[in-house]
Structures are given as structure tokens and as C-alpha cells.
Chains A and B, each alone.
Chain A
Amino acid sequence: MGALGNGTRGLAGGTDLVPLLRDGLVAADRLVDLRRVIPSGIDGTAIGAGTTLAELEADPQIPDALREACRLAASPQLRNMGTIGGNLLQATRCWYWRLNYPCRLHGGDVCHAREGQHREHAIFANDYCASAHPSDVAAALLALDATVETTRAAGPLAGLYRLPDDHDRNLVDLGADELITRIHYERPEQSVYLKAMDRKRWAFALVGVAAARYDDGVRLGLAGVAPIPWRLASLDDLEQATPLPGTAYKLELARALGRRAIAAVGG
């Protein structure tokens, strides 16, 4: 979870990093076990980056959107192992990227998914790279107006992510030796996370929609719709989507889940 510079990588749950290292998609000549270094545990609205998804799933203080996002994420074993910090930094499930096709995210000049198989891919910001961000947790935290505290700075969660371009193929804006330490969220009046997937459990989101209601209105965060976790000001913004032929259904899903999520939080 995160780079430490000089070929050293920090390892927390390892659920994403270990397979990526083995597949040669990430390189490291040294791993540092972060679990004794980064904070874990829940303190009010602050969550240590080393807290596992299983711990969050079980804690009744955690807002429904985040609890449900954790509950529906991955598999029980992966939730026991995976940390919230690592979850925010997980790589895309795009099969072309995972199988090391020379795609744009790997420094190439083509997005294979756009012309190929892309039913699990993005409907927003998918022109350069059509990969979809898989984090249920990030969608929930976007709706919960979360800020991320790192070893260097603190800022809104949305600022952790960036869309790739020719100059920088990274999807995460984090320094080489920078680590996420804590996540802070705003306690909502009500919140919810709804997820459409191919199985009832243990599948990445086709579309995940988090909604949280605050004094000033409902905030929405989406998973599985863009290369990075996606924030919507309102459902009207879905009209800005640019689905590919194989992802048009995701727009329909996002509308239906969005309407339901807003209704569920009384928005």
C-alpha cells in the first residue's frame, strides 16, 4: 500500500500488492511491513489507515454507507487481511491491465478495453483509459466527505486521485515516500451504499452508489464507473456520462441505484 521510494514498498494487508508483485506489475526490491507503523483502529470519526475492512464492517459507530461498502467488498478472508488505506490505493481490475497488455496505464499508447471487452469498465472519464475503479470503500468515503491524512499532508479524499494523461499515468497522487495514516469522515444524518454485482457476494462493483445526507443536502460517491472513485453532485450529472457500447447498462444501473440511495437516506 503505497510506495516508499528507492524500490521499497510498504506492505499492509498485501491482498493487492502481493499478487501485483508476483505478476511483475509492481516492482519492489524491499518490502516494509507497515502494520506496526501506521495507526489502526477507530476513534470517533477518525479511522487509522491500518484498520481492516472486517473491523469496520463490525463496528456499529461506522456510518451505514461505509459499513455496507466494507461488508460487500471482496471476500471475508480479504476483508480480514485488507486495510482501509490499502483499499483506497488498490489497482484497477481491468483485465488488460492485470494481464500486462501494453495499455496506457502501463505506458503504452492504446486502451485495449475501449475496442475490446469492457463490460466491467468506465462510463465517465473513459476516453484515455476506460478502467473502472473498484473501491466500494472509496465511493462510500466520497459520499461521507472524507479527508485523507498522510505522512505529509491532509486533504479531501477526491484529491488523492487523478485521471491519467500522457505525462503521468498514475491514478493516485501520492509522493514516493508518502503513506496514508488516517481517514476522517463527516458523520452524516443518514447514509447508504448500494452495489450491483455479478454474484450476490465476492464480486467487484459493476456500479456501486453511496449516498449520505447532511444538512446541506445529499452527497453521492460511485464505484465502478470511472478510472477513479467518482463523485456526483446530483443524479443529473449522469447525463454527462460517455458509456462505451458494452457499458451503457451501467448508466441505467447508476440511475436506478442512485434514485434508490437518495430515497433511502431521505434525500
Chain B
Amino acid sequence: MLHAAVVRSPHAHARVRALDLSRAREAPGVRAVLAPGDCDALDETAEFEGRAVVAVAAETFGQARAAAELVEVEWEELEPLLDPEEAVRRGSLVGEPRRYERGGYERGLAEADAVVEAEYRTQTLNHNPLETHQCVCEWRGDGLDVYISTQYIWGVRDDVAAAFGLPPDKVRVICEYMGGGFGAKNGAGGYVTLAAELARRSGRPVRLALTRREENVGGGNRNATIQRVTAAAKADGTLTALGGEFICSLGWGGWLASTAGPMQLLHACENVRTVEYGAKLNLPAMAAFRAPGFVEGTWALECLLDKLAAELGLDPLELRRRNYANVDTMDGRPYSAKELLECYRRAEPHWERRHEVRARSDATWKRGVGLASQIWYGGGGPPSYAWVRVGSDGRANVVTAMQDIGTGTRTAMAQIAAEELGIRLERVQVQVGDSSRGPFASISGGSSTLPSMGPAVRAAAADAARQILEIAEQRFEREDGTLSLRGGEIVSPDGTTWPLEEITGLLEDGQILGKGARGPNPAGMRVLTFGVQVAEVAVDVETGEVVVERIYAVHDVGRVINPLGARSQIEGGIIQAMGHTFSEARLDDPHRGTVLTKTLDAYKLPTIADVPEIVCELIDKPDAQLTNLGSKGLGEPPIIPTAAAIANAIRDATGADVTSLPITREEILAALREARERERVGAPSA
């Protein structure tokens, strides 16, 4: 196997003036070199740092790296566009601005007793899965095998097939296990094209793995935002208007995630006006990152709502209850199921703790409690397929070409098949991760894996069960549809039971093959996920240190399949949100547009020492309208409300209004200073 290294633009905006590959081609161990013109993934113009220019494959990674360093590139540096507001002014946008309006926004403002406005900002965040983007490409005849760390093997298949003009099934994509994606690994990306082309030219398998530094530049990111938002309400708390301008720093590509989504969907409000801009900048392009848009938008919306509650003198939880949406806020469709009110009810005792928490404040450490609610998609959908194979030993094999990205998909699918077949979990095996060895399966993104795949697996298991029972009914001379599978046995209503193997054993080498497909989502209904989080914080008002002491999370995602895995998803989402809230930020040089936080000492992921006590609760009520399973996805919901809940707790504790993420020492010290100033100025009238 050969190893590849890539020469990339060190500049945010530049053109190749001259390129000399002669020394690189002659370097020890080099077997293939690609330059612009050889492959679409290489370019002589760099519109962002990290743009690939040359790729080298050599016998070892060290040789590839050394050869890459021998590539001589003469760059002509060009002026980079880095300011998102300037980009909007100049019309440098990815796509068109997205405008949304319902009701009469101006009228809503005029009717209000209170109007609050604020500007919130969020930072650029890197996914930083511990396994960087990587693949091994190997040609076999006219077909290509791609071993890859991905969230979507079928997407990779289609992307790579398109890049090489191959029939899709000539590309086989394999991902048995993978080391984290969080949205960054939803497609193939140029690096796979490079590896495949190097493999084609060298006639050898080629491994291309991004280094951590490459990952932190070009691995994708959650785009930064500037959100200017307004909320207006009557004295009783009824929202009369919500509005916002959202500027999203997408970089040189990507897509405009719905940052205005929470404002449009979360609370009932007749009059809403939003506009979103995707600023096209000389920076690496964004990629989906765990609830893209909604994480950023909920931060602003839910902080703003607490500001409004303070202005109105209303309890923040009560304000949310008073604006509870009973039907979809955008088009009036009924929800397939919505247990947000139940989430509020269960959050109540945790919210009540605020009196006791505040009372534990002293001169230095101020304590407080804040909450924020959450809305997100997560209903999944078709197409998705699964096969269930039952052998003569009565064991089942679930076969589907999905991938387990670490969320416990294998376990959940085994549980679903075991339940439907009435057999023990240990008797079910799950085979995933190979596009040529199973039917099409959905992407592991958008909290869609379980709600998309689970019903397909259940249908396949039900199909297998039906076939087994048909045989049993013939053999035991029972009427059609009278037998069932339970506890590893075939059960008759009269109490007679037969071991499952008594029927499957007849098969010898034969097998029962069940097929299942994911049906459509309920027509005319809105399928969404909901939740609330309550944060308790302590703030050292002299040093700006914030300790999040406890987070209570309650989420409504329909039926829970694996409570252990579900808790892990909630905790994982909250912990990632802790990083987003306090320590993580990609920092770029403000003049050059180059990334400075390329390493994991500078880009600070949370450690085990940063984790608060996390108390998880799930409503666990099946969505009766949604599929044969009643389950929605839980990968994304828990990361959405955390930052706002924490910021609201900080305000509760100290009066300080933090408006920018991350909440660094400088951010909180400045907010505390402003709060003291407000208090000083406001004191005489109070």
C-alpha cells in the first residue's frame, strides 16, 4: 500500500505562478504525482487556505511527506475577503439570501408592550473527530474499492462514481467502524478523489489520511454567525413578533443551514420575519456539524427570550409555556407527536432548584440557573432497506449497508430484530458497512439513522417472522395468523409452544429471508423532536471562571430503543456543547485568513475535567403516527439548547449578558463589567 501526502495552499487567496515537480517526482519512494489538470480535486487557484495543489503517493508516509516538501510552488498572493458583513454588502454569497415572513412583522412590533433586541455571535467550530478523514482506495479491474471513515457509504459511492464516470455499483464502499464524524463525513470530499486517482495511476492501493492540522483547516466546520434578533410581546408574555438577520460565514462553499429555523419553529408567534445570508469568504467551507444552524440559532433565540422574560418580569419557563405551539408554526400542520409540554412539566422541579442554588452564592461565586428549549427534525424517512436472514439454528442476521458511526446502531438494530422475532438479543447478528453486501441504507446524519433504518429492520424481521409462522401453521395445522413468536418459541393462543428451531431446523441449509423497507412519514403531519435543558452554574465574578455544576436534560424523541445508548447520546451532545460554549474556537489571522488553531493544544476540546453532573430523562412515549417503531433520532437534539441554558444561568447568577460564544474569560469579564455599569447607572431609579 502506498501513502499519500498533499501540497496545499498556505494562503487564503492566491494563484500558482509557477510549479516545479521535478524534485518531488525523483524523490525516494515516489510512485505517483498529481498536479492541477490531472484531477478535479487540484487547482492552481486557491480561494481558501488548504486548497489542494499537488498530491504525491510514495511507499511510506514519510517519503510522501518529504516529496511533498520538495514541490516548489511560487504563489501570487491575492487579497482575501474575510469580513462577512463586507461580503454581504458586496454580494459575495453562497446561494441567494433566504427570506421568510409570516403574518405582519411590523404590526406585531406595534402591538407589543415590550421589545428586546440584541446581537449574538457564534464562533467557527471544528468537528475534530479523533479519527481524521481518511480512506484507502484500491482498483480491482475496472472497479474501485474504497475503505473509508464515513457517515454515508452510499453517498461516497455516488460521489466517487460520478468523479470517475463509473456505474455506481462499480464502486464498493466499506466502513466497518469509524472514528467519529459529527457531520463532517457526510460525503466523499476531494481527498478521496485524490487517493483514487493516485491508486489508478500507480496501480497500487493508496491510503490518504488527513493530518490533524489538515483536519483543522479543511475537515469542515460549523460556520460562525452574526445574529441580530428582535423579540416582542404583550405584557402577558404572548409573543407578537420575532425577527432576525442572520449572517453566516460559510467560507468558500458549503450551504446555508437554517440558523433562523428555531425562530421560525420553536415558539408560537404569528408574526415572524427572518433573512439569512451565506457570506462567501476566502476561508475553508463549512460542513454540517451536529444540528447545523439550529445550534447557533437556538443560542440567540433562547438567550433573547430570557432577556424578554426579564423585561416583562415573567418567569422564563412560564414565558415559554405561554407561547406553546400546538400545531406547526410554519404551516399549521399537526405534529405527529409533541411532548414538549411534558418536558416542561418534568423540568419544573429542576427549574425550582434555582432559589436554593442562588442562595448558595457568596461574594465571589455567584450561582444561578437557566433553561432553554429545543426543537429539531429527526424523523428520518425513506428510502432505506434491510434484510433479515434466519438460519436453521434459529439465529437471525440483519444485513443492511448502513454504517455505525459510534452511536450504537448495530445494537439498536439487533434489539429491534430480536423484539420482532421474539428471540434473545445474543441470537441476532448485524452486518453493516459494505455497499456491495447489503441493500441501500440511509445516511447517519440528521438524527435519521434510527428512525430511518429501525422501521426497515423491523419490517424485514416481521417479514421473516411471517414466513416462519406460515410454515409453522402448515406443519402444526393451525389456522393462518394464529401463531406468534415469543421468548424464542412459537406460541399458540391455546398455550401450546414449540421451540423456534423446530421449524427453522427443517430448513437445513435453507434460510428464511425477510425484506423490509422504510415507509413514508405520516402525510400532512410535522415530525419533530423536542426538549428542555436546565443548567446550574457558578461564576467567579473576579476571574470570570464559570463552573457548570449540573445540567438536567429532558428530551422527547418518541420511543427509546436503547436507554443506555440514548443516555450516551445526550451526554455526548451536552459535552460537545460545553466545548462550543467555553473553550472551542477556530481562530484565523484577521489579515491573512489563515487558521491559527490547527493543533489540539490551541483548539481546545473539552476534557473529562470540564464535565458537569448530567441528569438525563427521556419521555419515551412512542410517536403513534410515525412508522412501525415510533422512534425519532437523538443524535442532535441534546447539543442544541445547552449553550443558551448556560448563558441564561450566567445571567441569572450575575446579571451579565454574554452575547458571544465561546464564553471565554474575556467575554465574561467584559459582560460582568457592563452589568456592573448598568447597575450603577440604573441604581438611582431602582
Q: Are A117 and B590 in contact (CB under 8 A)?
A: yes
Q: Are B601 and A257 in contact (CB under 8 A)?
A: no
Interface assignment of B621: CB less than 8 Å from any CB of chain A: no
**In the bound complex, CA of A99 to CA of B545 (Å):** 29
Within 8 A of B (CB), among A146-202: 196, 198-202
**In the bound complex, CA of A215 to CA of B441 (Å):** 74
The range of chain B's interface size is: 20 to 34
Interface assignment of A35: CB less than 8 Å from any CB of chain B: no
Q: Are A249 and B607 in contact (CB under 8 A)?
A: no
Q: How far is the CB of A102 from chain B (nearest CB, A)?
A: 12
Interface assignment of A124: CB less than 8 Å from any CB of chain B: no
Q: Are B598 and A99 in contact (CB under 8 A)?
A: yes
Q: How far is the CB of A78 from chain B (nearest CB, A)?
A: 10
Q: How far is the CB of B679 from chain A (nearest CB, A)?
A: 18
Q: Are B609 and A95 in contact (CB under 8 A)?
A: no
Interface assignment of B360: CB less than 8 Å from any CB of chain A: no
**In the bound complex, CA of A260 to CA of B582 (Å):** 24
Q: Are A117 and B589 in contact (CB under 8 A)?
A: yes
- Main SS at interface, chain B: loop
Q: Are A249 and B590 in contact (CB under 8 A)?
A: no
Q: Are A199 and B604 in contact (CB under 8 A)?
A: yes
Interface assignment of A43: CB less than 8 Å from any CB of chain B: no
Q: Give the contacting residue for B545; candidates A112, A116, A196, A246; CB below 8 A.
A: A196
Interface assignment of A106: CB less than 8 Å from any CB of chain B: no
**In the bound complex, CA of A249 to CA of B672 (Å):** 12
On chain B, the residues within 8 Å of A116 by CB distance are 589-592, 596
Interface assignment of B544: CB less than 8 Å from any CB of chain A: yes
On chain B, the residues within 8 Å of A201 by CB distance are 607-610
**In the bound complex, CA of A199 to CA of B578 (Å):** 10
Interface assignment of A104: CB less than 8 Å from any CB of chain B: no
**In the bound complex, CA of A112 to CA of B582 (Å):** 25
The answer to whether residues A249 and B602 also contact, given A199-B583, A200-B607 and a CB cut-off of 8 A, is: no
Q: Are B596 and A198 in contact (CB under 8 A)?
A: no
Q: Give the contacting residue for A99; candidates B596, B608, B666; CB below 8 A.
A: B596
Interface assignment of B326: CB less than 8 Å from any CB of chain A: no
Q: Are B590 and A203 in contact (CB under 8 A)?
A: no
On chain A, the residues within 8 Å of B543 by CB distance are 196, 253, 256-257
Within 8 A of A (CB), among B632-686: 664-666, 669-670
Q: Are B544 and A253 in contact (CB under 8 A)?
A: yes
Q: Give the contacting residue for A198; candidates B542, B588, B604, B608; CB below 8 A.
A: B604
Q: How far is the CB of B7 from chain A (nearest CB, A)?
A: 16
Q: Give the contacting residue for A202; candidates B592, B597, B607; CB below 8 A.
A: B607
Contact bitstring A96-118, B, C-beta under 8 A = 1, else 0: 10110000000000001001110
On chain A, the residues within 8 Å of B112 by CB distance are none
On chain A, the residues within 8 Å of B583 by CB distance are 198-199, 203
Interface assignment of B143: CB less than 8 Å from any CB of chain A: no
Interface assignment of B587: CB less than 8 Å from any CB of chain A: yes
On chain B, the residues within 8 Å of A96 by CB distance are 589, 596
A200 closest partner in B (C-beta): B609
16 contacting pairs across A/B (C-beta < 8 A): A99-B598, A115-B591, A116-B589, A116-B596, A196-B665, A198-B582, A198-B664, A198-B665, A199-B606, A201-B607, A202-B607, A202-B609, A203-B583, A203-B604, A248-B666, A252-B544
Binding site for B on A (CB under 8 A): 93, 95-96, 98-99, 112, 115-117, 119, 196, 198-204, 206, 246, 248-249, 252-253, 256-257, 260
Besides the known contacts A95-B602, A116-B591, A199-B610, 17 further A-B residue pairs in the complex with CB atoms under 8 A apart: A95-B587, A98-B599, A99-B598, A196-B544, A196-B665, A199-B582, A199-B604, A200-B609, A202-B607, A203-B601, A206-B665, A248-B666, A253-B543, A253-B665, A256-B542, A256-B543, A257-B543
Nearest 7 CB-CB pairings of A with B: A249-B666, A201-B609, A200-B609, A256-B542, A95-B596, A198-B583, A117-B587
